[in-house]
Amino acid sequence: MIEINGKKFCENCFEPVTGAVCKSCGFNSEEGSPDPTTLSPGSVLMNRYVVGRVIGKGGFGITYLAYDALVNKKVAIKEYYPYGLAQRVTESTQVAVTSADSAEAFKLGAEKFYNEAKLVTRFNGNPNIVGVYDCFYENGTAYIAMEYLKGQTLKEYIRENGVLSAPKALYAAKSIVNALIVAHSASVLHRDITPDNVILCENGDIKLIDFGAARQVVAEYSQTFSVILKPGFAPPEQYRKKGNQGPWTDVYALGTTLYFMLTGDIPEDPTGRFDDDDTFKDNNFDVEPALW
């Protein structure tokens, strides 16, 4: 459990607790072992954000459930932590580069991560883009404090419930399009549209999360870093360090995500389809021909 402003909270859900076991989520604070690569529950950022459990870990960052002690609400905190370039200093909150050769790529990626977060704050209030509250540097890296969304990723939902009907899939796709119209008009690319980054919220909203500008910067400047892609969802230009990316990059990824919504299948990588692109010739998924 974690004490905040004189009250005890569950580190797993940040609901009030009175004992070792949380009555809201069943979490037992006396069980489990710490992960040395992540911030420990109870760590405090900017003297206001109290870190709880890990929500997700990706190629470029770690996302935590956290509690904003200043305004008393749950938030999500994303820590810039590019795989292969960053490491946690033993028994510390500090993040360091894995080698001197990685320092420049790490620094430029952190700056892009921070600057894009500031840009995304202008989209706050958009029903299809996650809200960004704050961005800051601490522990040798960068952080973003965001709206905490209750719900499931599109990937999780389809795994549990099966593919979406055509009307539901088109509604989700149009929601993402609405988000992209706003982002692209401000010259902001998402670069990582996948079923992992679309949240189906409990209140019915569909929100796009996790803009990935740092991905391109790190890939371009790192000599040792392999570009981390979502196989099947990334367009061909993302397979090259200096591929020509633009709005079309997001359009391709949205197309593959719509395909996944309707079929539950991940498309073949584009690099394997240059010579023979018959992947989508046969409609074996009972999708309406015009939509197919």
**Cα 113 to Cα 132: distance, rounded to the nearest angstrom:** 12
| DSSP run (H or E) holding 255 | helix 247-263
- The beta-strand segments (E) located in 118-204 are 132-138, 141-147, 151-153, 198-201
Instruction: Say if CB 23 and CB 17 are below 8 A apart.
Output: yes
**Cα 227 to Cα 20: distance, rounded to the nearest angstrom:** 42
Measured in whole angstroms, the distance separating CA 36 from the mean position of its chain's CA atoms is: 21
Is 192 labeled as catalytic in the residue annotation?
yes
Q: Which of 68, 134, 192, 210 is catalytic?
A: 192
Q: Which two tokens stand for residue 199?
A: 């949240």
Q: For residue 138, what is the DSSP state?
A: E
Cite the active site residues.
192
